[in-house]
Copies of this chain bind each other. A is one copy, B any other.
Amino acid sequence: MSPPPNALYCQAGGVTAVINATAAAVIETCRGHPDRIGKVFAGSNGILGVLAEDLIDTSYETAETLRALRHTPGGAFGSARFRLGSFEADRRTWDRLHAVFAAHDIRYVFYNGGNGSADTARSLAQFRERFDYPITCVHVPKTVDNDLAVTDCSPGFGSAAKYLAVSLREAAADVASMVASSTKVFILEAMGRHAGWMVAAMGLAADADHHPPHLLLFAEIPFDPADFLARVHASVERFGYCVIGASEGLSDGSGRPVSALPGPHPGEEQFGGVAPYLAHLVHDRLGYKCHWATADYLQRAARHLASATDLAHAEAVGRAAVDFALDGHNGTMPVIVRESDNPYRWRIGMADLDSVATLERRLPHEFIAADRCHITPACRTYLRPLVTGESWPPFRDGLPIHAHLTNHRTPRRLPPWHSP
């Protein structure tokens, strides 16, 4: 009897506080089917490692290490920003992937990513027709941006949302105590690109009307400096201070980013810098002392403050992905289906990747208040369960313990790869 075929797990795009919990769930679930799945390989740095035939043999990782992945942020096997071109345009790359799959008898692919990755996963699912190769590819959702279509939310978002809401509430308590003689305006910048989910999450910090944040700047609302300054002034006059949550993707009416550095590749935006821009503006025009924070990777890496709900989602999509694959559901993605808000109830559903890939789920209009700088009760109802529950990692000497993998490489069988 021939040994069962192997599986491949890849992390793709920006990582999250709980993507390794998904990784652990995928690997553990595969281990539960030794008759159907042999080894689980992980691409070192995702699909780049597949192309380079740089495959991590996860069978060398102990059950204890896999459990530790549950409380380890980042992408344990390395991730990649990569988009597979069309079969016609990128044929050499498709051929190489096919060769690596065949060389290592990889017939299950679990591609753990966001929007762009879903498109690549959809391409991998086509290897069945393109090469008559028996692949089953399941996309496993993750993104702090929460902009994946079909699913009620994306694993990774709940923890980043919790981090932002908690951080804003804590920092606002600090600012409130300094207003008499020092800082009057505080700005916290959130990731999330052009989607305002992360900004909306900061709205949860307010547990009563007029509590901070006093002003949310959504990527969806064109930035108007005069209107902004008027609102900041009004908040300082009324409350003594103004706490602001701002999107890194803030742009003016023409779609020009308020503050964007040129990225490393032509035409690629790199976000970050909206908060200092706004602080300078407020200081110059209104004369208020400002403080600002740009949490950047801290907000998507803060496993110490992960949402227990988010962690449960991250594990569930990992387990479901393996079940989907074993049931032959090629080109699908497990999604979170919300059954009720309060009490919060959810289940795993199945989406076809054609209904997911390249779509962007924006913050609904009904989640932004009429004043365009707060969230609505409906938004609060949506967000609350996603940030609920704590899952503290173990600590040693005051710091969280992270998994350390052996990352044992499997021997190469193919000639070296040179990217086109």
The chain B residue sitting closest to A288, CB to CB, is: B264
Decide if A292 is an interface residue (CB 8 Å cutoff): yes
CA distance A300 to B303 in the complex (A): 19
Considering only CB atoms, which chain B residue lies closest to A14 in the complex? B178
CB-CB under 8 A for A173 and B402, given A181-B80, A273-B276, A291-B296: yes
Instruction: Give chain B nearest CB distance to A305 CB in angstroms.
Output: 6
Are B301 and A399 in touch, CB under 8 angstroms? Answer: no
B296 and A400 form a contact (CB under 8 A): no
- Nearest residue (CB) in B for A296 is B293
Residue in B294, B297, B387 whose CB lies within 8 Å of A294: B294
CA of A268 to CA of B167 in the docked complex: distance in angstroms?
27
Interface membership of A304, Cβ < 8 A: yes
A387 to chain B, nearest CB (A): 3
Known: A46-B180, A79-B180, A162-B399. 4 other contacts (CB 8 A): A11-B177, A72-B173, A73-B173, A204-B398
| Size of the chain A interface, CB-CB below 8 angstroms | 83
A95 interface residue (CB < 8 Å to B):
no
8 A Cβ contacts from A40-60 to B? 45-46, 48-49
Q: Name the interface residues of A277-296: CB closer than 8 Å to any CB of B.
A: 280, 283, 287-289, 291-296
Cβ contact within 8 Å between B384 and A388:
no
Enumerate chain B residues within 8 angstroms of A81, measured Cβ to Cβ. Answer: 178, 181-182
Cβ contacts under 8 Å, A283 to chain B: 261, 264
Asked whether A289 lies within 8 Å of B276 as measured between CB atoms, the reply is no
Query: Does B174 lie within 8 Å of A74, measured CB to CB?
Result: yes
Set of chain B residues within 8 Å of A45, measured between Cβ atoms: 177, 179-181
Indicate if A82 sits at the interface (CB-CB under 8 A). yes
Listed in ascending order, the chain A residues whose CB lies under 8 Å from chain B are 11, 14-15, 17, 45-46, 48-49, 72-82, 162, 165-167, 169-182, 186, 188, 204-205, 207, 261, 263-264, 270, 272-273, 275-276, 280, 283, 287-289, 291-298, 300-305, 307, 384, 386-390, 392, 395, 397-400, 402
**Would you call A173 and B74 a contact (CB within 8 A)?**
yes
12 CB contacts below 8 A, A to B, read: A73-B174, A78-B179, A79-B177, A162-B399, A170-B304, A171-B296, A173-B301, A272-B292, A293-B295, A293-B298, A384-B398, A388-B398
Judge whether B399 and A297 touch: CB under 8 Å: no
Contact A75 B177 (CB under 8 A): yes
A174 CA to B398 CA in the complex, in Å? 20
Contacting A298 at CB < 8 Å: which of B170, B287, B397, B398?
A: B170
B residues less than 8 Å from A280 (CB atoms): 261
Complex CA distance for A272 and B187, rounded to whole angstroms: 13
Bound together, the chains give a CA A205 to CA B79 distance in angstroms of 22
Using CB atoms, name the residue of chain B closest to A79: B177
Contacts of A176 in B (CB 8 A): 74, 78
A39 CB to nearest chain B CB (Å)? 22
Given contacts A270-B289, A276-B273, contact A166 B397 (CB under 8 A): no
In the complex the two chains form, what is the Cα distance from A296 to B177 in whole Å? 15
- Kindly provide the distance from the CB of A82 to the nearest chain B CB, expressed in whole angstroms: 6
The answer for the CA separation of A9 and B392 in the assembled complex, in Å, is: 35
Is B398 touching A165 in the complex (CB atoms < 8 A)? yes
Q: Name which residue of chain B comes closest to A283, CB basis.
A: B261
